[in-house]
Amino acid sequence: MTDNHGNRSASSSSSLNSSSHDTEDDHTIAAILAEDERLRHDGKLGKRLSHLDSIPHTPRVIGDIPDPNDATLDHERLAERLTTYGLAEMQMEGDGNCQFRAISDQLFQSPDYHKYVRKEVVKQLKRHKRLYESYVPMKYKHYLKKMKRLGEWGDHVTLQAAADRFEAKICLVTSFRDTCYIEILPKDKSPLRELWLSFWSEVHYNSLYQAGEVPTRTQRKKHWLF
């Protein structure tokens, strides 16, 4: 009985700590969002790629993971493109949350608010089912349940939902052989900000900056070392 009581106490303490941390996160996020000018991109990255044509974006779920040889070639192609356009990656942790971490880094100057980003994206998907359901090849409620889970990989449907929720143009520099650059625009709204991400096809997302201007972030776990 003593052990069970101790477990309950530890669990209660853990829940309180988690709740307190979430509240602190909410306050920080609210403060950042209140300073809207800090969220508006100055267009420097956009000017570098303004001559590129973006293909129409079609939301889709994750495709087949490439085999190691193809993945290596894809990564080399992406690295060459980033070098060509004077861009550099802020490496995100490879824990399944990389898309949400990269969006968080672009929005809030920190990848640590990825839980908030995921929560808001799932809310968007749930509230506006008609916008996204046709792109999901499974029962929609199962898709929503899956996307709520930490560590579940984001896809191009969640990217569209993020663009809609945060009124952002998401600029994606990709490793695709025939598609260097994709713009994901919010539906029926003018974007208020630009978010720059790299996409190593079906493997990983990172946050993009001008070469030489990648901020220093404290990383608490291992990340992709590619």
Give the active site residue among 75, 114, 156, 204. Answer: 204
Residue 204 annotated among the catalytic residues of the structure: yes
Find where tokens 């749930």 sit. 126
Residue 171 annotated among the catalytic residues of the structure: no
Residue 95 annotated among the catalytic residues of the structure: yes
CA–CA separation, 34 and 156 (whole Å): 28
Give the active site residue among 98, 156, 171, 180. Answer: 98
Query: What is the radius of gyration, based on Cα positions, of the chain?
Result: 19
Give the active site residue among 41, 57, 70, 95. Answer: 95
Report the relative pairing of strands 204-210 and 193-200 from DSSP bridges. Answer: antiparallel
The residue length of the chain stands at 226
| Residue 208 β-bridge partners | 89
Q: Which helix (H) or strand (E) holds 17?
A: helix 2-34
Give the amino acid at 154.
G
Closest by alpha carbon to 198, among 95, 106, 62, 64?
Answer: 106
Q: Among all residues, which ones are annotated catalytic?
A: 95, 98, 204
